[in-house]
Amino acid sequence: SAVISQKPSRDICQRGTSLTIQCQVDSQVTMMFWYRQQPGQSLTLIATANQGSEATYESGFVIDKFPISRPNLTFSTLTVSNMSPEDSSIYLCSVEVTGSGNYGYTFGSGTRLTVV
Amino acid sequence: GQQVMQIPQYQHVQEGEDFTTYCNSSTTLSNIQWYKQRPGGHPVFLIQLVKSGEVKKQKRLTFQFGEAKKNSSLHITATQTTDVGTYFCAGGGDTGKLIFGQGTTLQVKP
């Protein structure tokens, strides 16, 4: 299965600033997914990042607020822009593990963001 | 849009008791996946079900996919304290996206 290195693991940020979260995968993957998980809640898909094309955003999420880069098949970044306390959450990247087995989706360890 | 509902939200059991969480989708799914998230951790893949009526077992865990491919369940026999965590179902479609249920948080009293 794939191994994802996600950083930072946590941060405390001032409102109005931006934070960029990075995910590095140890193998090439076509799609990377970015999720938000608010405390005690489920995972909500923010966007799907494809290499070589613009990310596809889910309803309620826009590129100006959550710009995504996908420069190659092993790396992606998500930026949380102009942050407010409502953006305090855990952000996770994920990739689908394909191959001869059934490995589902692998998640990064998450970035716990607190906006003050 | 597609929704995946999961119940119950919380379940407290005595160690040794059984536990079941149920998942229902508003639309037919290509597959359903189950994940476990320990407190402070990230979701970890448990299993994927693809076929109508499929049943899979992993030791004390039994997973079922409904005949209509719109519902699923996870049953844990004789819970242990190591089973503590939140169990999520996630509906998969042809686009590769997963839609997660709300999760069931399991507490096990020793």
Alpha carbon distance A78, B26 (integer Å): 30
DSSP state of A13: E
| Closest Cβ opposite residue B96 in set A96, A102, A109 | A96
DSSP state of B30: S
Residue A101: band (very low, low, confident or very high) from pLDDT cuts 50, 70, 90: low
Q: Are B73 and B63 in contact (CB under 8 A)?
A: yes
Contact at CB, B44 and A92, closer than 8 angstroms: no
Contact at CB, A42 and B35, closer than 8 angstroms: no
**Closest residue by Cα to residue A78 from A38, A108, A41:** A108
B1 or B72: whose pLDDT is higher?
B72
Neighbouring residues of A99: CB distance < 8 A, sequence distance ≥ 6: none
The model's pLDDT over B21-33, given as tens digits with 9 standing for 90+, comes to 999 999 999 999 9
The model's pLDDT over A40-55, given as tens digits with 9 standing for 90+, comes to 899 999 999 988 888 9
Q: What is the pLDDT of residue A5?
A: 97
Residue A102: band (very low, low, confident or very high) from pLDDT cuts 50, 70, 90: low
**Average of pLDDT values for B54-73?**
97
Amino acid residing at A111: T
Q: Are B11 and B102 in contact (CB under 8 A)?
A: no
Quick check: helix, strand or coil at residue A50? Answer: strand
Question: Among all residues of chain B, which has the CA nearest to that of A41?
Answer: B102
Residue A100: band (very low, low, confident or very high) from pLDDT cuts 50, 70, 90: low
Contact at CB, A106 and B45, closer than 8 angstroms: yes
Contact at CB, B33 and A109, closer than 8 angstroms: no
Integer CA distances (angstroms), B33 to B17, B25, B37, in order: 24, 12, 13
Share of chain A above pLDDT 90, in %: 82
Cα A95–chain centre separation = 10
Share of chain A above pLDDT 70, in %: 96
Alpha carbon distance B40, B60 (integer Å): 24
**Average of pLDDT values for A78-93?**
97
Question: Among all residues of chain B, which has the CA nearest to that of A6?
Answer: B42
Alpha carbon distance A21, A12 (integer Å): 13
Mutate to test the interface with A, among B10, B25, B45, B51 (most CBs of A within 10 A): B45
**Average of pLDDT values for B45-67?**
96
Cα A103–chain centre separation = 20
Q: What is the pLDDT of residue A39?
A: 87
Quick check: helix, strand or coil at residue B39? Answer: coil
Write out the two tokens for A49.
Answer: 């990042």
Q: What is the pLDDT of residue A57?
A: 96
Question: Among all residues of chain B, which has the CA nearest to that of A38?
Answer: B102
